[in-house]
A and B are shown apart, each in its own frame.
Chain A
Amino acid sequence: MSDQEKLWAHVQRALDERRDPLADPELEAWLLEDDQALDEVLRLRSTLSVLEATATPVAPRWRRSVALAACVTALLVGGGLLLESPLGPQPAGNPDRGSLAPEVAGLLPNTPTARVLEVSISVVTESEDACIATHYDGHEFTRRKDRFASMSVGDSARRSDTVISTLVSQRYSR
């Protein structure tokens, strides 16, 4: 079985168990390494959320046309997925499996997958004769210490812009 097939089997198993696929840590780790697969699963989630959204009646006439178009699109896509999924065409006499989409869509708002897209953190301490800057760029911490010329008696009370001490940089992980 190829990686893609394993991935989709994992997704389908999660749907079988009425779990959001992206809430599965193993699947999430897998998807984080495969951008294309992640996009496909996100598209599936998006489609399912459209199904849920269109289940709510919308009063104005022009909105109904949007909902109808979204429904048709979603049903076509969802129908295709159902045909290929283990939850797809069910044997007669199993009425509980007839309404898959609303059940799955109902799971989505309760199990969102929060994540950090971008982050930077900095702490800068400035005094008359020194500047210490700790910076986190999303990957590692860096600390830099600059010491400036100290002022002599009678000098104007302005910090020199010239760095005279050795720069101290350290990188460490927490």
Chain B
Amino acid sequence: MIWNRCLVALLLASPAIAIPLPQESVGGHELPRIKSSHVQETLTFFDIHDIVEDLCPPAAVEMTDGRTPAELRAEQRSRVSNRLLAAIRTYMKPAWSAEQNTKSVYLGDSLAMSATKEQNEWIGSFLANLRQHPGRMLGSRVVYFEVPRGQLSTLGVEGPTTLLVAEGAREKLIQKAKEMEGVHLLMSPEVILRPISDATVSVQKQVAYIKSYEIKMIEPGNALIADPVIDTISEGYVLKLSCTPLPGGLHGTSIEFNRTAIERPIPTRTIRLATAPESEGTISSPVVTRVAVKSDVLLGSGQSIAFSTPANDDEKDLLVIVTLTDLALTPPPAPDEGSESGHQR
């Protein structure tokens, strides 16, 4: 037992120690038991204390629910560790295979992974890449256009997804779009985020309208009262992003963009509420369009991806351009580069 504890302590103290599987006799109860498979795997411990510490945002706000700063910090560390683990499993090369034992455990400040030699090498380079730039920040800019039908090819957007990897390609596209007649720039939010963490930008307003009426009989007198039923629609957009720097200079970028728009003016009509001649009420029948883009892409710093789709009215196409900038590798764009800043944000 004492020997087992010493060995576990030694393993946890080492940055990367590999143990060939199976390891039941070595680990005892302290180590995860991992079944062997025909894929040659090793159980490797990676010290991720410094990375988790770097990626945890400072706990500046005191919680009102009774949690102490230490408890809050522990929760943050656990969340970051789990995201780190998820990122490794998502982007690892070679990818996890179905036959593989995909056991991975977060033990305090160490990550225990059972993986092949090549996968463990990838994890090593992934963690080394994260360590290269402490305090790393990433920037992302989203630009949303409505383009007259058929004009996307003129802008150089040929398919539903177009990668803009050449230097200046994004700026040229945006400039051409702005100069094109009938193109509307609807929004261009920007977000700064930390590696692996999620960032959410939500700009919404509630629009209330009379959806219907409930007829109620009031005593005394059997009077009929029309009670309006109010419904609300959240109009605006929600942008969710997460970005994982990967070995080799690419960034695994997860994008979720949702926009809800209500057609103006909101159509209304009058309906009869009862048999009396004056018993009429006006209700609204809003036409709501929801655009949703969800994607996982690999982008280099300064590169962009354009998503496009035909709108439902068949009169225009929609264009969403997402740009990633790793501020540790690429200097932030000059203020005049994002000339759309004068528009709605």
Contact = CB atoms under 8 A, between A and B. Distances in A.
B113 interface: no
A92 interface: no
B297 A112 contact: no
Interface in B258-316: 271-273, 283, 285-300, 303, 305, 307-313
A119 interface: yes
Contact of B128 (A39, A66, A109, A117): A66
A46 B318 contact: no
Contacts, number: 182
Interface stretch (B29-37, B53-61, B158-166): B158-166
B93 A119 contact: no
B211 interface: yes
Interface in A115-142: 115-128, 132-134, 136, 141
A50 B121 contact: yes
Interface in B25-46: none
A63 B89 CA distance: 23
A119 B125 CA distance: 27
A154 B309 contact: no
Interface residues of B, number: 58
Contact of A114 (B121, B283, B286, B303): B303
B292 A122 contact: yes
Contact of B16 (A47, A69, A116, A118): A69
Which label, helix, strand, loop or mixed, suits the secondary structure of the A interface? mixed
A66 to B, nearest CB: 5
Interface stretch (A2-10, A52-60, A93-101, A161-169): A52-60
A158 B290 CA distance: 20
A134 B292 CA distance: 10
A90 interface: no
Given A70-B128, A120-B294, A141 B310 contact: yes
B249 interface: yes
A117 B91 CA distance: 10
Contact of B298 (A69, A114, A132, A134): A114
Interface of B: 15-16, 47, 93-94, 118, 121-122, 124-125, 128-129, 131-132, 159-161, 163, 165, 211-213, 247-250, 252, 271-273, 283, 285-300, 303, 305, 307-313, 318, 329
6 contacts: A45-B247, A46-B248, A118-B296, A120-B294, A123-B309, A127-B285
Interface of A: 39, 42-43, 45-47, 49-50, 53-54, 56, 58, 62-63, 65-67, 69-70, 73, 108-110, 112-128, 132-134, 136, 141, 143, 151, 153-158, 174
